[in-house]
A = this chain, B = another copy of it.
Amino acid sequence: MTDEVDYITGSTRIFAILGDPIAQVRSPEMVTAEFRARGIDAILIPVHAPVAAFETVLRGLMAMGNVDGLILTIPFKAAVLPFLDHIGPQAQIVGAANAVARLPDGRWSGEIFDGIGCVSGIKAAGHVFAGKRVHLIGAGGAGSAIGIAVAFERPALIRIFDPDVSRAADLCARIASVDPRIVTEVASPDPRAADFILNASPVGMLSDARNPVGTDAFAPTLVVFDAIVKPEETPLLAAARRAGCATVAGRAMMRGQIARIVDFFRDASNPLSEK
């Protein structure tokens, strides 16, 4: 038995993820590993914030002198906005933030990285959205964040399918607010001519064998992304792989998001390092 562990000391900086429930989150082990890989003496802890106590928990964390940033998960991504001094461009349009950081002057800034993580993961695989046609399945929380992050990459066209047509139309309008030159369309599931298919719906998750676009007649030039993490190869990705398409799995979005959130924490605490 050793008297001490080597991964936390009195000077370790603290980050936290707030959710209700919290036990299922993966950020503590993944974000802490990212800190460690970058040589940052910091740890991300899980915080169970019961909904009724959210403000008390949040104000407590923000008052701690050695807490530099927070991640918000369900159901707090929208609830955090009133406590922020600065809201990033994507968070403003989505109406939610999932990472907040303390600036050197003590103010708090927030942004949403769900969509940024997706775009980052797809770009890391060598693909470019600018000028391209994007077919997006799902306009809920994940789909909205992804659609808006993709809009910031200036594609030519974003087509959106959601079983709730008004939700798809609302996302089209928000995408137009990013840049009115982007053509937006409420679409059927069938992708027709597109350069990217992005699935942000739950169709294909776990033992659901359905392909959310209802066809596997894919041109091999398509790039197909699925936000679903389990299974790693969804029915959509399997069909795309058989058709010779490039595929990007949900885990790339998760990795991309963690890397961009840690960049955000680092840049907030040290604005001179901003790129």
Q: Which residues in A have some Cβ–Cβ distance to B below 8 Å?
A: 1-12, 14, 17, 20, 22-30, 32-33, 36-37, 43-50, 53, 56-61, 63-67, 255
Contact = CB atoms under 8 A, between A and B. Distances in A.
Contact of A5 (B4, B36, B61): B36
A124 to B, nearest CB: 15
B11 A23 contact: yes
A64 B49 contact: yes
A239 to B, nearest CB: 27
A106 to B, nearest CB: 11
A6 B6 CA distance: 12
Contacts of A9: 26, 28-29, 46
A5 B42 CA distance: 12
A4 B23 contact: no
A46 B12 contact: yes
Given A45-B45, A64-B49, A5 B5 contact: no
B50 A65 contact: yes
B22 A66 contact: yes
Nearest to A60: B60
A123 to B, nearest CB: 19
**Max chain B CB contacts within 10 Å: which of A20, A30, A45?**
A45
Contacts of A1: 33, 37
30 contacts: A2-B37, A3-B30, A3-B33, A3-B255, A4-B26, A4-B33, A5-B36, A6-B29, A7-B7, A8-B29, A9-B26, A10-B22, A10-B25, A11-B23, A11-B46, A12-B28, A12-B45, A12-B46, A20-B65, A22-B65, A43-B43, A43-B45, A46-B66, A47-B64, A47-B67, A48-B65, A49-B64, A53-B63, A56-B60, A60-B63
A8 B23 contact: no
